[in-house]
Chain A
Amino acid sequence: EPEVTQTPSHQVTQMGQEVILRCVPISNHLYFYWYRQILGQKVEFLVSFYNNEISEKSEIFDDQFSVERPDGSNFTLKIRSTKLEDSAMYFCASSGAVLGSPLHFGNGTRLTVT
Chain B
Amino acid sequence: AQSVSQHNHHVILSEAASLELGCNYSYGGTVNLFWYVQYPGQHLQLLLKYFSGDPLVKGIKGFEAEFIKSKFSFNLRKPSVQWSDTAEYFCAVNALYGNAGNMLTFGGGTRLMVKP
Contacts and interface: CB of A to CB of B under 8 A. Distances in A.
B104 A103 contact: yes
Contacts, number: 69
Interface residues of A, number: 28
B100 A48 contact: yes
A95 interface: yes
Interface in B76-116: 90, 94, 96, 98-109
B46 interface: yes
B103 A44 contact: no
Contact of B32 (A50, A93, A100): A100
A97 B99 CA distance: 11
Q: How large is the interface on B (under 10, 10 to 19, 20 to 34, 35 or more residues)?
A: 20 to 34
Given A43-B44, A108-B43, A50 B99 contact: yes
A65 interface: no
B101 A56 contact: yes
A44 to B, nearest CB: 7
Contact of A95 (B51, B90, B101): B101
Given A102-B49, A103-B104, A107-B42, A56 B99 contact: yes
Contacts of B32: 99-100
Contacts of B42: 107
Contact of B51 (A41, A43, A100, A106): A100
B2 to A, nearest CB: 11
